[in-house]
A and B are shown apart, each in its own frame.
Chain A
Amino acid sequence: MADTSTPDALSRFEQTIAAEEKIEPRDWMPDKYRLNLLRQISQHAHSEVVGQLPEGNWIGRAPSLRRKAILLAKVQDEAGHGLYLYSAAETLGVAREEMLDDLLSGKAKYASIFNYPTLSWADVGAIGWLVDGAAIVNQISLCRTSYGPYARAMVRICKEESFHQRQGFEIMQTLAAGSADQKAMAQDALNRWWWPSLMMFGPHDAESAHTQQSMQWKIKRQSNDELRQKFVDQTAGQAAHIGLVIPDPELKWNEGRGHYDFGPIDWDEFNRVLAGHGPCNRARLAARRAAHADGEWVRDAMLAHAEKQRARATDAAA
């Protein structure tokens, strides 16, 4: 194991990547590889954690016990996924507290889609179907990422995530087959969540700041545009199946390409939300900060309890 940047270490690193083998925590790696991964994995972790908020808004108002139990289980999964990812990021030598500080101070980013509000119950369906659907497309690709701990976290997450998308689709399917009002509610949710879902894949390849280097190091295995296309292709048929209309007049099957064509994305909106001016940016961070502050007595109590147990064990031994 080399600990300095020798030509040997670098060529070994590059050979490992070229051979489709994984880089593991104690291997030597270029600083930029480490930083690039840290940025991506911690952002991913933050997204799982903040992603609990829009759906959490509806746990107390779910329309049935069945839906409520399912939504609770899903939101609990998201918390777990955040933990898997923070753990993977920690193997790169950064303390979890540091990452949390960066999230709470607003320095770190998370998926900008969670800065949109959940206005109706149908939004819970749309999030599961579209937002989790988009996340799965991305995450399946990341199961082949070059960093071992990240790849293993992705495999675990993908296994669990499949039910998230299905429960969302089921909500939409049920509403779309319901009364005119219910169907209109589902259509409205689709209208509002469609474009932000496409934005989840990030800027077009030509404008993406990190894509080229990330692809070279096999941190990312498919480009933003490839993954976005895959998502559009599979979602178009799903919408048609339940009789909802994707809000894009340019969406059309292209026989020659073997893909759906789709209209232009409003990148001004994307950049606005990313810069902190989405409908809920401030509310999301405020909720995270409040949750962290409100949880402090629990963390303190855990430490105090453990300390007391230790003291008792010492007394008993004396």
Chain B
Amino acid sequence: MSSKHLPLWEVFIRSRRGLDHKHIGSLHAADASQAMQSARDTYTRRQEGVSIWVVRSSDIHASQFEDDSAFFDPAADKVYRHPTFYDVPEELKL
């Protein structure tokens, strides 16, 4: 019996043309083509997708939860980036 673990892969599915691929879950597989087949069998048994991406989980770099506030706060006080900040009569269609 092998003592090696199969690496983890993240699966992204495009549910139909025109939409972005969306993360749907993960699975274990030895290489990309196995991951692709498993993804098909695991996540698209009911025609949930027209395209699949698989990415090694270790290749994904995520923002750190502890840094959340320092990372995202600068956008919080810039209300002028939203169209609702400007007072324009509705009928002018701006």
Contact = CB atoms under 8 A, between A and B. Distances in A.
A166 B93 CA distance: 10
Interface string A224-252: 00000000001001100100000000000
B1 interface: no
Contacts of B92: 169, 234, 237-238, 241
A148 interface: yes
20 contacts: A22-B17, A24-B14, A24-B51, A73-B78, A73-B80, A133-B94, A148-B17, A152-B18, A163-B80, A163-B86, A165-B94, A166-B83, A166-B88, A169-B86, A169-B92, A170-B88, A237-B92, A237-B93, A238-B92, A241-B92
A167 interface: yes
Interface residues of A, number: 27
Contacts, number: 59
Interface residues of B, number: 20
Nearest to B89: A241
A142 to B, nearest CB: 13
B81 A73 contact: yes
Contact of B81 (A148, A163, A237): A163
Interface of A: 16, 21-24, 26, 66, 69-70, 73, 77, 133, 148, 151-152, 160, 162-163, 165-167, 169-170, 234, 237-238, 241
A173 to B, nearest CB: 8
Contacts of A69: 78, 80
Interface of B: 14, 16-18, 20, 51, 78, 80-83, 85-89, 91-94
Nearest to A20: B18
B86 A166 contact: yes
B88 A169 contact: yes
Nearest to B92: A238
B65 to A, nearest CB: 22
Q: Which 6 pairs of residues, A with B, have the shortest CB-CB distance?
A: A22-B18, A166-B86, A162-B83, A22-B17, A163-B83, A21-B17
Nearest to A241: B92
Given A163-B85, A166-B86, A169-B88, A21 B18 contact: yes
A16 B14 CA distance: 16
Given A69-B78, A241-B89, A152 B94 contact: no
Contacts of B81: 73, 77, 160, 163
Contacts of A77: 81
